[in-house]
Amino acid sequence: MRVLETIAALREYRKSLKESVGFVPTMGALHRGHQSLIERSLKENSHTIVSVFVNPTQFGANEDFSAYPRPLEKDLALCEKLGVNAVFLPKIGEMYPYEAKQRLKLHAPTFLSRSLEGAMRKGHFDGVVQIVLRLFHLVNPTRAYFGKKDAQQLLIIQHLVQDLLLDIEITPCEIMRDDDNLALSSRNVYLNATERKQALAIPKALENIQQAIDKGEKACEKLKKLGLEILKNLEVDYLECCNHKLEPLKTIEPTNTLVLVAARVGKTRLLDNLWV
């Protein structure tokens, strides 16, 4: 497995690849969710490149950039075990050669980024667009793999690729869960045992909403009320029913509905969702 720490090294390596290239961009702290993305890329492509870069531009002033877990040796060992061909491991100065005032301003599409996570984390998706577009430009993948857990991010990246006419296939991958049904997240390590049990209300709320939909309930307000009752002991940032343009819905639209939830358990903020 190649470990590439500079853009020059990545470009030289990329020029040598003549067949399909799968790309899995990550911020490290790899778990089974990331592993599922990597395994799918390995299955569908001749070469797989994983990037590990904790991107400062997608963190707000009061967020956990400095505390974000960075178990690099463990991440590299997992990538090697899985059979990844190369890991791109750049420093901040490599990815952002200019200071913020001199940097080209890139913005996520407003209609997808102004609500939900975009409203809670101002500028977050602009930072996501900044780094993803730079990585796409450098890696030039055939396919790139993103988890459905970060649904709003996925929709923004799909729109980015279509709007800028990029020849990259965005492959959405299913949410991976632990045995207790909590969606896998690098931030789960922040939860103590008590908080972990409390966090299980999140997948439980979504499970009950899905069951109600299966029984014929289509009214979004009733579904949200059902979910919020289960989440009553958590600090809920939002629980919303939206279409794939992230427009609020009054009634469920089959194959075009997302139920999205963000809630805080202790100091940890967790996301989960349901693709209906």
pLDDT in tens, 184-199: 998 999 999 999 999 9
Contacts of 173 (CB under 8 A, 6+ apart): 36, 37, 40, 145, 146, 147, 148
Task: Find out whether 9 is annotated in a ligand binding site.
Answer: no
Rounded to whole angstroms, how far apart are CA atoms 131 and 235? 30
Up-side HSE of residue 250: CA atoms within 13 Å toward CB?
0
pTM above 0.85, yes or no: yes
Rounded to whole angstroms, how far apart are CA atoms 169 and 2? 24
Which has the closest alpha carbon to 235: 120, 123, 150?
A: 120
Banded model confidence at residue 109, pLDDT cuts 50, 70, 90: very high
Banded model confidence at residue 61, pLDDT cuts 50, 70, 90: confident
Rounded to whole angstroms, how far apart are CA atoms 223 and 6? 49
Task: Find out whether 74 is annotated in a ligand binding site.
Answer: no
The Cβ of residue 118 has, within 10 Å, a number of other Cβ atoms equal to 19
Identify the pLDDT of residue 94: 96
Mean pLDDT, residues 119-140 taken together? 97
Task: Find out whether 58 is annotated in a ligand binding site.
Answer: yes
- CATH code of the region 2-173: 3.40.50.620
Catalytic residue positions?
A: 34
Ordered by start, the domain boundaries in the chain are 2-173, 186-275
Rounded to whole angstroms, how far apart are CA atoms 3 and 50? 10
Contact 212, 226 (CB under 8 A): yes
The percentage of the chain sitting over the pLDDT mark of 70, rounded to a whole number, equals 100
Three-state DSSP class for 164? coil
Mean pLDDT, residues 80-100 taken together? 97
Identify the pLDDT of residue 67: 85
Banded model confidence at residue 63, pLDDT cuts 50, 70, 90: confident
Asked if pLDDT for residue 62 goes beyond 90, the answer is no
Identify the pLDDT of residue 64: 80
Asked if pLDDT for residue 60 goes beyond 90, the answer is no
Helix ranges (DSSP H) in the chain: 7-15, 32-44, 72-82, 92-95, 110-113, 117-120, 124-139, 151-163, 193-199, 201-214, 220-230
Reading across the β-sheet that carries 235-242, which strands appear in turn? 235-242, 258-265, 268-275
Task: Find out whether 27 is annotated in a ligand binding site.
Answer: yes
Contact 124, 58 (CB under 8 A): yes
- What is the per-residue pLDDT across 95-105, written as a single tens digit (0 to 9) for each? 999 999 999 99
In terms of pLDDT, which residue wins out, 64 or 233? 233
Task: Find out whether 185 is annotated in a ligand binding site.
Answer: yes
Architecture of the CATH domain 186-275: 2-Layer Sandwich (3.30)
- What is the per-residue pLDDT across 139-179, written as a single tens digit (0 to 9) for each? 999 999 999 999 999 999 999 999 999 999 999 999 999 99
- What is the per-residue pLDDT across 3-20, written as a single tens digit (0 to 9) for each? 999 999 999 999 999 999
Mean pLDDT, residues 78-107 taken together? 96
Which has the closest alpha carbon to 142: 41, 2, 8?
A: 41
